[in-house]
Amino acid sequence: MNLVTLIFTIPLILGIAAIFIPKFLFKYGSVFAGITSAALVWAGIQAFPYYRLEALGRTPLLEGGVLSLSLIVLTGIFGFLITLYSIGHMEEKSSFFWSLFCWMLSSSALVFVAADIIVLMVAWGVTGLILALMIWQDGNEAVGKKTFIIVGGSDAVLLFGMVAMAATAGTMQLGEIVIKPGAPLEWVIFGSLIIAAFTKAGAMPFHTWIPDTAKDAAVPVVAALPASIDKLLGIYLLKKIFIDWFVFTPGKSTLLMVIGAFTVIAAVFMALSQHNLRRLLGYHAVSQVGYMIMGIGTGTPIGIAGGLLHMVNNAIYKQGLFLGAGVIEKETGTSKLEDLGGLYKNFPVTFLSFTIMAMAISGIPPLNGFLSKWMIYQSIVKTSNSGGVMWVVYLTAAIFGSVLTLASFVKIIHAAFLGQPAKGRKTHGENISWQVPALVILPLACIVLGVFPEQTVYPLLEKVTGPIAISGIYKPMMAAALLIFGAGFALLAYVVFKVSGYRISEPYIGGEKITPAMRVSGVEFYTTIESIRPFKKIYNFARKGYFDIYELLKEFVFYWIKLLRWIHDGVITTYILWVIIGTVVLMFGFLK
Amino acid sequence: MTLLPLIVLIPLAAAFIVALLDFIKDDFTRELAMDIVSGISILSALIISIVLFGNYGTYAMAGWKFPVGIILVLDGFSAPVLVITNFVALMCLLFSYDYIKKYGAKEKYYALFLLMLAGMNGVIVTGDIFNLYVFLEIASVASYALVGYGTQREEIEATFKYLVLSSIGTSFMLLGIGLVYAHTANLNMAYISEILASSGVSAGQAPASIYLAAVLFIVGFSVKAAIVPFHAWLPDAHPSAPAPISAMLSGVLIKTIGIYAFIRVTYIMLGMNTGVVPQVLRIFGSLSIMIGVLLALGQWDFKRLLAYHSVSQMGYIALGFGLATPLGIIGGLYHLLNHSVFKSLLFLNSGAVDYRLNTRNLKKMGGLSEKMPVTGTTSMIASLSIAGIPPFNGFWSKLVIVIAAIQAGHPLLAIWAIIGSILTLASFVKVQRYAFIGKIKDSLKNIKEATALMQVPMIILALACILMGLILVPSIREVILDPAAKILLDPSKYIELVRGAAG
C-alpha cells in the first residue's frame, strides 16, 4: 500500500465509518483508531530502510526524510497507547470521538510529510480544528472557545506567512524554499510563521490555552494533543522555519533564545503556584517548550539535535504524566492537590510510573530528560564562541528552570502520593486495565532513551543534523552503571550493616493528637514563594489575566467595538449623512 | 438560448399565479397548490440555469436586434451567479414551507418571494442598463415588503430605513443611467462599453459626466451591496425579515443586485477595470471587513450578528474583485459563491432555532446540539466555513484572496484580511459556544429538532459547504471561475459575445 492510502485514505474512511457506531458500542470504535495508528507506524517502518518517503511511491505533494518518518512512527505509537488507555478510561459517549481521533493522527502525519504549502496549511488547520472539537465534545464550552480562537487564529497567521513566503521564494514546494536575509518581508514572514509554531507548541506568550485545556479537557485528549502531538507539530514546524527555510542570522537566533529562556522560567514559576495537578502539568507543558526552542535557536547541530530529542522526550513523559494524573482523577474524582495525598499505597503502578517520568522531566540522570537538556546546555555554551554574554543568561535560565521543575515535581509527588491522605477522600484501589501498557511503556522509554542513546536515537538525529559532537565526560551508559552501582552499594550496606533496628513512631507534636486537619498537604510550602515581594505582584497580575494575550487582545478589540457602536446610533439621518460623505469622498477621487 | 428568457419569465409568471391561487377555499389544498407551483417554478429556473451553464450566448427579446432591443446575455460572469442564486432560492423556499406558517398569508409571501427571484434573475442576465435598473427595482421593492413581513414595530422601522437608504441609491443609479445615455444615446451595455472605450475612458479623456456617472453608480450599487459606509440599513433589515428571507437577502440579494451589478456596470459597461474603481473597491472592501466583523463580535442577537458578518464578508468579495487581477477576481467570485451557501445556511439555522425557541438571543440558548443535532451540526459546518477553517469552502476562497492580494503587491491588505478572518473565527466560536455546544439548559429540555422539511435544505447546504472546496481543482476551476476573470478584465470579449451572437 502506498503512503497516501496508509496515512490519508484509510484514516479518512475509518473516521467516516466510526460516526455510525452506536453509542453503546463506543469502546469498539477503538479498533478504528488502533488500525489508523498501525497504518501510520507501518508507513513509517516500510520507508525507514531507505530513509526517504519516496520509497513508498512518489507523489508530488508528499515527501519526507528521517525526521518526518520518525515523527510518523512516533505519532502512530502514541496514538496506539492512548487508544488503549481510552478504552479503560473513557465512559460511553458519541463515537464521533474515534472519528476525530483517526483524523487527528492522519492530519498530524500529513503535516510531517507535506511537500507543498497548501497540504501543510490544510493539514495543520485540521489538527487545530480537531483539538477544538475534541474539547467541545465533552462539553467544555468555554475552554474550547478560548483554545479554538487562539489556535485557529494562529492558523490564519500561518496562512499569511506561508503564502507570503511562497510569493517571496517563488515556489510552493516546501523543499525548494530558501529565504535569504534581506528578502522582502523577511521578518514579517518569519514572525507569522513562528507565531503559528509557538502557538501550537505552547511557547509564551501564545501559551494560555494550554493550562486551561490541560485542566478541563478529557485526559486522553490532553495527553494526545497539547502534551505530545501538538509539541511534535509545533517544534517540527519551528525546525523547518528556522533551519530549512530561513538562512541562519544572529538576530533570529537571539529572538528564539530570549523567548525560549523566558518561557522556561515564567512557565515554571506559574507551575509552582498551581493547586491543580493537571493545570500544573499544563504549565510544565509550556515550560519544557522553552528548552526545545533554545536548542533549535542555537542553530548548532548539537542544539538542534538536543531540541528535537527534547521534543520527543517531552512528548513521551508529559503524555505519561497526564495519563497517570488521569488514573488518579478517575478514581478519586479530583485533581486538586490538597484533596489527594498518600496515594502510593493504593496506586503502586501509577506511583512508580509517575515518579520515573517526574524524574525524567526534572532532568535527573540517567533518564532521557537529562540527556536532551544536557545537549541543549552544551549547545548554549558553544554559542559563547561567537562572543556576547547573553549565553550566560540563557544557560542560567535553563538550569534554574530545571531546578524549579524538580521542585514542583517534588511538590506533586509529596502532595499526591506521599504525605497523609486528605480527609474524606475515597480510598479505592488502583483500577487499571487497558491503561497499563501506556503506564509501563512510556516510563520504560524514558529509561531506554536515556541510557542507550547511542543505540537508539543518536544515529537518527545525526541523519537529520549531521555529526553531533558531544563534549564533556557524560556517558549515559557509564552514568547509569555508576548509579546502579551506587544504589546497589547502598542496598548492600543496608543489608550488611543490618540497618534493621529501626522503629516507626508517630510524630510527636507537643502531646496533641494528630488530626487530618493538621495534615501538611505539600502545597503550603510553595505558597510562601507567592508572598515574596516581586513575585507577589507578578502572580497577582497573572491571575488577573494581564499576561494573557487572549484577554489583552479582547480588551483592545472591545474598545473599538464600543466606539463603532456609538456611531451606529440607529438614527436614519446619521446613516444618510454617511452616504453623503461617502459620495463626496468618491467625487474627489474621480473628479479631481 | 431560447431558454434564457424563461429564467425570468417562469418565476415572474408563477408569482402572479400563486397570488391568484388564493381563490381556493380549502386551506390544505390551497397551501399545497401554492407550495407546488412555487417549488416547481424555482426548480425549473434552477434546472435551466444549470442546463445553460457554459453555453454562453445571447437572446434578443421580441426579435429586436442589437443594439436597439433588449438583449439577454449569458456569459462567464453571469452563469455561476445565476446557478447559485436559483440554488439558494430553492433551498430557502423548501425551508419556508413549514417556517412561514407561523406568519400566515402564504400567497403574499410566495408572490413576493418569486417576484424578488425574477428580479434578481433579470438583473443577472440582462444586457441592457435600463432593464437592469427595472429588474433591480422589482427585486428591491419585493424585498422591502418581505423585510416588513412580520409587521411588528421594529420590522416596520427596519424596512423603512432600508427603503429610504435604498431609494437614495436607486435614484443615484437612475441619474447615472441618464448621464451615460446622454453621452452614448444607447442603453445596451455592450454598445455603451464600445463607445466609451473608443472615447478613452480608462485614459481619463472621457467627458466629466461619465466619471460623475461612475460615482453615482458606485454609490448606488454599494448601498445595495451594503459596503461600508453605505451599509447602515443592512443590520436592521436582514434580521427583521423571516429567516428564509434573511437567507435570501444576505445569501444572494446583496450579491446579485449589489456587487454583481456593481462589477458588471463599472468593469464591463464603463470599462473601468483599472485605476480608481478597483482602488475604491479595495478601500471600501477593507473597511467593510473590519467594521462588519467588529460590530458582529459585540452582538448577542443571533441574526443581527450574522447580518454584520454579511457586511464583513461582502468586504472580502469586494477586496477580491478590487485587486483586478485574474486571481483576485477568481477569489472574489469564488467567495461570492461560497458566502451565498454558508450565510444562507446560517440564517436557516437561526430560523430553525427561532422556530423552536422563539428567541434570537444567544444568551437564552445553550447546548442546543443535544436536542437539535441536524441544526447543530450544520451550523457548525457553516460556522467553520465562514471562519475559514480548512477543509471547508470558506477557507479556500479566503486563501485565494490572500494569495491574490500578495501577488498583486498588497501584503498589508492580506494581513488585514487575515485579522478579519481571526475575528470572524472568534465571533463564530462564540456562537457555537453559547448556542450549540455543551449541556442543554434545563429550560430547553423539551424542545424538538426542526421539521424534516426544514432539515433537508440545511443538510444540502452543509454538504455544499464541504464539497465546494473542489471548485478549486484546476479542471473544474477552468469551467466555473476562469471565464469570469477573462471577461471582466477584457470587456471586449463581452462585446464580441453580444455582437457575435446577435449579428
pLDDT tens readout for residues A482-501:
888 888 888 888 777 766 66
According to the model, what pLDDT value does residue B386 have?
93
pLDDT (average), residues A245-258: 88
According to the model, what pLDDT value does residue B473 have?
87
User: Quick one: three-class SS letters along B43-104?
Assistant: HHHHHHHHHCCCCCEEEEHHHCCCCCCCEEEECCCHHHHHHHHHHHHHHHHHHHHHHHHHCC
Other CB atoms closer than 10 Å to residue B92's CB: what's the count?
A: 29
**Residue-range definition of the domain harbouring residue B464:** 276-472
According to the model, what pLDDT value does residue A471 have?
67
Which residues in chain B touch residue A139, judged by CB atoms under 8 angstroms apart? Answer: 367, 437-439
pLDDT (average), residues B377-406: 92
What's the gap in Å between the CA of A560 and the closest CA on chain B? 7
pLDDT (average), residues A379-383: 83
Which three cell numbers mark B296?
458582529
Q: Is residue B227 part of a domain?
A: no
Q: Is residue A373 part of a domain?
A: yes
Rounded to two decimals, the ipTM of the complex is 0.89
Q: Answer whether B214 touches A (CB < 8 Å).
A: yes
In total, how many domains does chain B have? Answer: 1
Least confident of A64-73, A539-548, B57-66: A539-548
**Element at B108 (helix H, strand E):** helix B106-125
Residue B174 confidence class, pLDDT cut points 50, 70, 90: very high
Q: Do residues A337 and A418 share a domain? A: yes
According to the model, what pLDDT value does residue B66 have?
81
Out of A145, A163, A574, closest to residue B403 by CB: A163
According to the model, what pLDDT value does residue A516 have?
62
Q: Do residues A110 and A256 share a domain? A: no
Q: What is the pTM of this model?
A: 0.91
For chain B, how many helices (H) and strands (E)? 22, 2
- Domain boundary (A183, A214, A247) is at A247
Buried b (16+ CB within 10 A) or exposed e, B204-241: eebeeebbbbbbbbbbbbbbbbbbbbbbbbbbbbbbbb
Question: Strand, coil or helix: what is A346?
Answer: coil
According to the model, what pLDDT value does residue A436 have?
84
According to the model, what pLDDT value does residue B218 have?
94
Q: Which residues contact A119 (CB under 8 A, 6 or more apart)?
A: A61, A62, A110
According to the model, what pLDDT value does residue A44 have?
84
Q: What is the Cα–Cα distance from A287 to A260, expressed in whole angstroms?
A: 9
Buried b (16+ CB within 10 A) or exposed e, B413-428: bbbbbbbbbbbbbbbb
Out of A122, A565, A589, closest to residue B298 by CB: A565
In total, how many domains does chain A have? Answer: 4
Least confident of A447-451, A558-562, B144-148, B201-205: B201-205
Q: Is residue A57 part of a domain?
A: yes
The DSSP-derived string for B231-293 is: -TTHHHHHHHS-HHHHHHIIIIIIIIIIIIHHHIIIIIIS---STHHHHHHHHHHHHHHHHHH
Could you tell me which of A95, A209, A240 has the C-alpha nearest to residue A147?
A209
Residue A340 confidence class, pLDDT cut points 50, 70, 90: confident
Which three cell numbers mark B103?
406568519
B335-370 pLDDT tens trace: 999 999 999 999 999 999 988 888 888 888 888 888
Q: What is the Cα–Cα distance from B357 to B436, expressed in whole angstroms?
A: 13
pLDDT (average), residues B168-186: 93
According to the model, what pLDDT value does residue A427 have?
61
Q: Do residues A387 and A535 share a domain? A: yes
Residue B309 reports pLDDT greater than 90: yes
According to the model, what pLDDT value does residue A472 have?
65
Q: Answer whether B415 touches A (CB < 8 Å).
A: yes
Residue A13 reports pLDDT greater than 60: yes
Asked if B295 and A155 come within 8 Å (Cβ–Cβ), the reply is no
Out of B168, B214, B425, closest to residue A149 by CB: B425
The DSSP-derived string for B440-495 is: PPGGGTT--PPPHHHHHHHHHHHHHHHHGGGGGSHHHHHHHTHHHHHHHH-HHHHH
For chain A, how many helices (H) and strands (E)? 24, 0
What's the gap in Å between the CA of B407 and the closest CA on chain A? 7
Q: Is residue A462 part of a domain?
A: yes
Q: Which residue has the higher pLDDT, A425 or A25?
A: A25
The DSSP-derived string for A175-224 is: GG--B-TT-TTHHHHHHHHHHHHHHHHT-TTS-THHHHHHHHS-HHHHHH
Q: Do residues A74 and A135 share a domain? A: no
pLDDT (average), residues B43-50: 93
Q: Do residues A297 and A258 share a domain? A: yes
Which residues in chain B touch residue A162, judged by CB atoms under 8 angstroms apart? Answer: none
B436-477 pLDDT tens trace: 888 888 888 888 888 888 999 999 999 999 999 888 888 899
Which three cell numbers mark B208?
466629466
Residue B105 confidence class, pLDDT cut points 50, 70, 90: confident
Q: Which residues contact B69 (CB under 8 A, 6 or more apart)?
A: B60, B61, B62, B63
According to the model, what pLDDT value does residue A426 have?
62
Mean pLDDT estimate for chain A: 85
Asked if B389 and A141 come within 8 Å (Cβ–Cβ), the reply is no
Taking a C-beta distance cutoff of 8 angstroms, is the pair B219, A583 a contact?
A: yes
What's the gap in Å between the CA of B175 and the closest CA on chain A? 14
Asked if A557 and B297 come within 8 Å (Cβ–Cβ), the reply is yes
Which three cell numbers mark A486?
551506587
Q: Which ranges of A114-138 would DSSP assign to H, the alpha helix? A: 117-137
Residue A545 reports pLDDT greater than 80: no
According to the model, what pLDDT value does residue A196 have?
92
**Residue-range definition of the domain harbouring residue A290:** 252-472+519-545
Other CB atoms closer than 10 Å to residue A534's CB: what's the count?
A: 7
Q: Is residue B207 part of a domain?
A: no
Q: Is residue A121 part of a domain?
A: yes
Which residues in chain B touch residue A558, judged by CB atoms under 8 angstroms apart? Answer: 297-298
Asked if A561 and B295 come within 8 Å (Cβ–Cβ), the reply is yes
Residue A522 confidence class, pLDDT cut points 50, 70, 90: low
Q: Is residue B433 part of a domain?
A: yes
Q: Where does residue B29 rank: exposed (0-12), middle (13-18), buried (19+ CB within 10 A)?
A: exposed
The phi, psi pair for A246, rounded to 5°, reads -100, 150
Which residues in chain B touch residue A125, judged by CB atoms under 8 angstroms apart? Answer: 389-391, 395
Which three cell numbers mark A453?
542513546
- Domain boundary (A66, A97, A114) is at A114
Q: What is the Cα–Cα distance from A272 to A100, expressed in whole angstroms?
A: 33
According to the model, what pLDDT value does residue A377 have?
86
Asked if A145 and B430 come within 8 Å (Cβ–Cβ), the reply is yes
Q: Percent of chain A at pLDDT above 70? A: 95
Q: Is residue A509 part of a domain?
A: no
According to the model, what pLDDT value does residue B328 have?
92
Asked if A578 and B232 come within 8 Å (Cβ–Cβ), the reply is yes
Other CB atoms closer than 10 Å to residue A33's CB: what's the count?
A: 28
Residue A258 reports pLDDT greater than 80: yes
Distances (CA, A) of A280 to A139, A147, A409, B266: 22, 18, 9, 61
A51-106 pLDDT tens trace: 777 767 667 777 778 888 889 999 999 999 999 888 888 888 888 888 999 999 99
Out of B212, B384, B426, closest to residue A149 by CB: B426
Mean pLDDT estimate for chain B: 90
Least confident of A222-236, A522-536, B170-184, B463-477: A522-536
Question: Strand, coil or helix: what is A165?
Answer: helix
Which residues in chain B touch residue A591, judged by CB atoms under 8 angstroms apart? Answer: 208, 211-212, 215
What's the gap in Å between the CA of B113 and the closest CA on chain A? 27
According to the model, what pLDDT value does residue B25 have?
85
Buried b (16+ CB within 10 A) or exposed e, A56-87: beebeebbbbbbbbbbbbbbbbbbbbbbbbbb
According to the model, what pLDDT value does residue A79 have?
92
Distances (CA, A) of B36 to B44, B116, B459: 12, 18, 21
According to the model, what pLDDT value does residue B106 have?
84
What's the gap in Å between the CA of B142 and the closest CA on chain A? 21
Q: Which residues contact B146 (CB under 8 A, 6 or more apart)?
A: B109, B112, B113, B116, B241, B242, B245, B249
Residue A519 confidence class, pLDDT cut points 50, 70, 90: low
Question: Strand, coil or helix: what is B371?
Answer: helix
Q: Answer whether A589 touches B (CB < 8 Å).
A: yes
Could you tell me whether strands B57-60 and B71-74 are parallel, antiparallel, or unpaired per DSSP bridges? antiparallel
For an interface test with A, the pick among B218, B403, B427, B440 (most A C-beta atoms closer than 10 Å) comes out as B403
Q: Percent of chain B at pLDDT above 70? A: 99
Q: What is the Cα–Cα distance from A294 to A373, expressed in whole angstroms?
A: 10
Q: Do residues A285 and A425 share a domain? A: yes
Q: Where does residue A507 rank: exposed (0-12), middle (13-18), buried (19+ CB within 10 A)?
A: exposed
Q: Is residue A486 part of a domain?
A: no
Residue B28 reports pLDDT greater than 90: no
pLDDT (average), residues A305-322: 91
Q: Do residues A256 and A356 share a domain? A: yes
Q: Do residues A293 and A431 share a domain? A: yes
Question: Strand, coil or helix: what is A59?
Answer: strand
Residue A419 reports pLDDT greater than 80: no
Q: Do residues A73 and A124 share a domain? A: no
Q: Is residue A332 part of a domain?
A: yes
Q: Do residues A156 and A225 share a domain? A: yes
Locate the chain B residue with the closest alpha carbon to A121: B390
Distances (CA, A) of B143 to B110, B160, B229: 12, 12, 21
DSSP state for residue B188 in the 8-state scheme: B
Residue B402 reports pLDDT greater than 80: yes
What's the gap in Å between the CA of B155 and the closest CA on chain A? 13
For an interface test with A, the pick among B159, B170, B215 (most A C-beta atoms closer than 10 Å) comes out as B215
Residue B223 confidence class, pLDDT cut points 50, 70, 90: very high
Q: Which residue has the higher pLDDT, A45 or A546?
A: A45
Residue B501 confidence class, pLDDT cut points 50, 70, 90: low
Q: Which residues contact A245 (CB under 8 A, 6 or more apart)?
A: A165, A169, A174, A177, A178, A179, A193
Distances (CA, A) of A297 to A231, A293, B114: 16, 6, 64
pLDDT (average), residues A330-343: 80
Residue A454 reports pLDDT greater than 70: yes
Q: Is residue A382 part of a domain?
A: yes
Q: Is residue B10 part of a domain?
A: no
According to the model, what pLDDT value does residue A517 have?
63
Q: Percent of chain A at pLDDT above 90? A: 18
A423-435 pLDDT tens trace: 666 666 777 888 8
Taking a C-beta distance cutoff of 8 angstroms, is the pair A235, A308 a contact?
A: yes
User: What residues 140-169 of chain A have any CB closer than 8 A to a CB of chain B?
Assistant: 140-142, 144-145, 148-149, 152-153, 155-157, 159-160, 163-164, 167
Q: What is the Cα–Cα distance from B374 to B384, expressed in whole angstroms?
A: 15
Residue B14 reports pLDDT greater than 90: yes
Q: Is residue B49 part of a domain?
A: no
Q: Do residues A418 and A272 share a domain? A: yes
Angle among Cα B140, B145, B148 to the nearest 5 degrees reads 125
Asked if B422 and A576 come within 8 Å (Cβ–Cβ), the reply is no
Task: Tell me the residue type at A124.
Answer: W
For an interface test with A, the pick among B153, B406, B413 (most A C-beta atoms closer than 10 Å) comes out as B406
Which residues in chain B touch residue A568, judged by CB atoms under 8 angstroms apart? Answer: 232, 235, 295
Q: Do residues A87 and A143 share a domain? A: no
